[in-house]
Chain A
Amino acid sequence: MAWLVAIDGELAGRRFSLDAPCLVGRGPYNHVVLDDTRISRQHAKISPEPGGHVVYDLNSANGTFVNEVQVKRQKLSPADVVRFGPFTFRFESEALDNTGPLKVPKFHEVHTQVGAEPPSKIIDSLDASLATNPGVAHDLAELEDADRKLRTLYAFMQSIATTLEQGELFDRILRNLLELFPAAEACAVYLREPTTGMMEPRKVMRRDAGPPSLSTLPGLFHEEVVQKGRAILSAPLSPGAKGQGGTSMHAPMIFGNDVQGVLHVRGGERALISFAQSDLDLLTGLASQAAMALQNARMHAESLKQQRLQQDLLLAEQIQKSFLPRQLPSVEGIEFITEYRPAYSVGGDFYDLFWLDHERVGVFIGDVSGKGVSAALLMARISSDLRVAALAEPSPARAISRVNQAVLERKQHDIFVTGIYLTLDVKSKTLMLANAGHLPPFIRRKTRGELVRVEGGSGTAIGIFDEAVYEETRIELGPGDTLVLCTDGVLEATDELGEQFGFERLELSLSSGASRPKDVADRLQRDLREHVGDAPQYDDVTLIVLGVTGEPAPARLRRRDEPTQTVRND
């Protein structure tokens, strides 16, 4: 047993145990913290060695003195006076009992409290017990030992907890280890590789500028540390030094019940003993702090990834929304209703309504196969392709054909697009319509009160065949007639039992009740909601309803006139 006893200043009377290597310096991680500018951050170290205690000056600015002689390395004898800057200590030693076990500070018992209470509180209670039981030198030494270890752990935790970036975290851990263990020549962080389950080195740091290589101890490394989660101190090089320490340390980084990684600290290659059992205890505590910090960093990285994904989606959604018409063309005698409900924040459905010239409006509804960001981005591109094609080609069939070529040129093999493009002559209320593999449009005829499925003008979905030929069909709309375009999300809307909405329900909904566009759209939405109930929306639902306003007056008048005329003729 050996102590460094302060003999002047504020610390007078304080005893610092030297049973384990003891660091002296201004840095908060030192075992003996001397808060004075004349003290270097890492000033000196006193190590128990087989021949007795040795003090090492760690290249301090103002030097280390033994009996007022400046030393670099000096073996200490009882009652030697050791001075670091303005601080003076007396070295005290009891003859080491070589047959007994090395005294191990009761560090674990204190450490287990760390999780339960904030370290500051524990330090307070330690200080209090120091004050109330000053007489018991033995307990005092142990408590001081526990105290400085707690302080060390606390400083370590503060140092590493402020980074959430893994590379920086490893860097800080290793820098701290090199400072805490002056006898360490190199240290490393190993992490479990999720795919192989093996411990792989993530970062290696050497005290000197040598290449970052580190020999491991495979057998011990895996069995003791990785499987059993036990910290190990490797055997010393000299058989005579057995029981007093070792030359390298491994401590598991445990989180939950898993060994997530290992901290490895290695001493100098020719050193007989670099570390004592108490060093290993300290490393064990540091490793558990490091595991916690690593877990934080990982969770942070995961949430960053989620955030980035979320941002991608948001961006795609914004791009997509920007391609949907903000304002529908206002046409006298024509009413437009549009509904757009993507299943996710971004969908593969889209629609467009725009003026082609003074007399014609272009209307497009489409559905890109697949979902998510790639479908949304393709959709956005296609809608600009379509506008270009629509302005260049008055014929809907030829415009669609151009879009088909444009999509094929992008060589996105597993994506295709279905769509309907029509032009509406606002004076004659005449449509020219081309259908590229899309759900056929429906027309609700006011005069005959019937629902017609438009099968004409149909061609293959866009983006599949180079040689695809598109046709167009001509449709005349009369007053009160309503045209309905929708995507197959309507047909595929599924109830909780897996039953799809289907053609039959769609046609029933479109053909019943009032025929104005608003009525038709509202009724279809309501019927869809009722069918789906609480089942999640699986596919995008898009709807365009286009109606010619006004009563079909001429037809009715003629019918009324006829009987009157008949009466007259009679």
Chain B
Amino acid sequence: MFQFERSEREGVTVLTLAGNLDAATSSGLKKEVVVLTDSGKTRVAVDLAKLTLIDSTGVGVLISLFKRARAAGGAVHFAGLTAQPKEIFRLLRLDRSLDLHPTLDEAVQKLKG
């Protein structure tokens, strides 16, 4: 089961993910990433607090959001990583290069400024 929700906060696009993001569930988010970046919404805070599991395809979708937004002059910050996703981010050494924040508030504040 995977769900995502898109909202706006102080001029920042917030993407809230919940459940398992893997090869079987990622196609919807994949499309949303293209829609978002094509429509110029390239300052994005991704809330991962409710994300329970992620696989390499799932990471690929988040990476594509990051790469597309940056190519368009925007930025993507991630917030609230827990458990298995946190371990995967660490393993891929994404924790060093991506902007990770403990809470969504912090991510939004950074992107706003």
Chain A residues close to B by CB (< 8 Å): 348, 367, 369-371, 413-416, 418, 436-437, 439, 458-461, 464-465, 468, 488, 492
Contacts and interface: CB of A to CB of B under 8 A. Distances in A.
B35 interface: no
A414 B97 contact: no
A416 B93 CA distance: 12
Dominant SS among interface residues on chain B: helix
A23 B70 CA distance: 75
A25 to B, nearest CB: 59
5 contacts: A348-B56, A370-B57, A370-B60, A460-B93, A464-B97
A513 to B, nearest CB: 27
Contacts of A461: 92-94
B91 A413 contact: no
B63 A416 contact: yes
Contacts of B94: 437, 460-461, 464
B56 A464 contact: no
Contacts of B67: 413, 464
B77 interface: no
Interface of B: 23, 30, 55-57, 59-61, 63-64, 66-68, 91-94, 96-97
Given A413-B67, A414-B30, A437 B60 contact: no
A30 B11 CA distance: 78
Given A348-B56, A371-B23, A459-B96, 20 more contacts: A369-B56, A369-B59, A369-B60, A370-B23, A413-B63, A413-B67, A414-B63, A416-B59, A416-B60, A416-B63, A416-B92, A437-B91, A437-B93, A459-B93, A460-B94, A460-B97, A461-B93, A464-B63, A465-B97, A492-B55
Most buried by B among A371, A414, A437, A458: A414
Contacts of A468: 97
Given A370-B57, A416-B59, A437 B30 contact: no
Most buried by A among B56, B59, B91, B96: B56
Contacts of B91: 437, 439, 488
B99 to A, nearest CB: 12
Contacts of A414: 30, 60-61, 63-64
A400 B65 CA distance: 23
Contacts of B97: 460, 464-465, 468
